[in-house]
Amino acid sequence: MIKEGQLPMDDQNKRAKILEIDFEWDPSITKRIWSFGPEADKGSNILVNATKSVDYINEIQQYVVTSFQQSSSSGGLCDEAMRGVLFKFNDCNLHADSIHRGAGQILQATSRVMTASQLRADPKLVEPMYLVEVQCPQSVMGSVYSVISNRRGVIKSTEMVIGTPLVSITGNLPVLESFGLTEELRGVTQGQAFPQCSFSHWKVMEDNVYDPQSKVHKLIKSIRKRKGLKEDIPLYTDYCDAMPKQ
């Protein structure tokens, strides 16, 4: 509903009621949402004001929201948009002098805090998945299964195509593994397999992103290299700034 832009953003009470009744969200969250992100009207990430009795908090709200939207559009792992992340703004100490709580002081500090929070929370990479449908004769079904399985795909169903000698094989395949799929299938089946791919869903890659031997770690490093970023995946401690001694 959020991603489709169907949630009323201009009526906080109506929005909160929908989230509480239809999706069983906690009222302590629904009534204190500051923003969705990266898109303010349909982003899948949420910023909640969970502070209590913080002076001048309303003065910095827009700066915090701006930092949140920027941070959720470029996560700490590989500068890709975040999905399904909840940020709770729990507390802060603001300078009594207004000149020290402007955009210059708030934007960068908030962005660093949000990146550190994401990296501290056992972040995962999500990858797009295709729905793959392959039609082929029964005699080459085994070859089709092997190709899809070797590309980290999962077979969901196999059905006869009524009125034909063909079977229809349906499964899910990571988009990353789909390049060259048509050519390989036709090669191993002597041109008898006809694949079709369409976007299905996003899937969490469960491996530890900091394990150098994991596929997701290698994928993140390759993305960072392609984007011209430092290849080493940052730690949350890289964003923990020491308070100056008084």
Q: If you average pLDDT over every residue of the chain, what do you get?
A: 91
Query: Over the stretch 135-177, which tens digit does the pLDDT of each residue have?
Result: 999 999 999 999 999 999 999 999 999 999 999 999 999 999 9
Output the pLDDT for position 174: 95
Please tell me the total number of residues recorded for the chain in this structure: 246
Tally of CB atoms within 10 A around 24: 7
Predicted TM-score (pTM) of this structure:
0.80
In sequence order, what E strands does the chain have?
33-37, 45-49, 86-89, 125-137, 154-160, 166-174, 194-205
Output the pLDDT for position 28: 84
**Which domains does the chain possess?**
12-120 (3.30.230.10), 125-205 (3.30.70.240)
Output the pLDDT for position 1: 61
Distance CA 193, CA 168 (A): 10
Query: Over the stretch 209-229, which tens digit does the pLDDT of each residue have?
Result: 999 999 999 999 999 999 999
Query: Over the stretch 75-94, which tens digit does the pLDDT of each residue have?
Result: 999 999 999 899 999 999 88
Output the pLDDT for position 243: 66
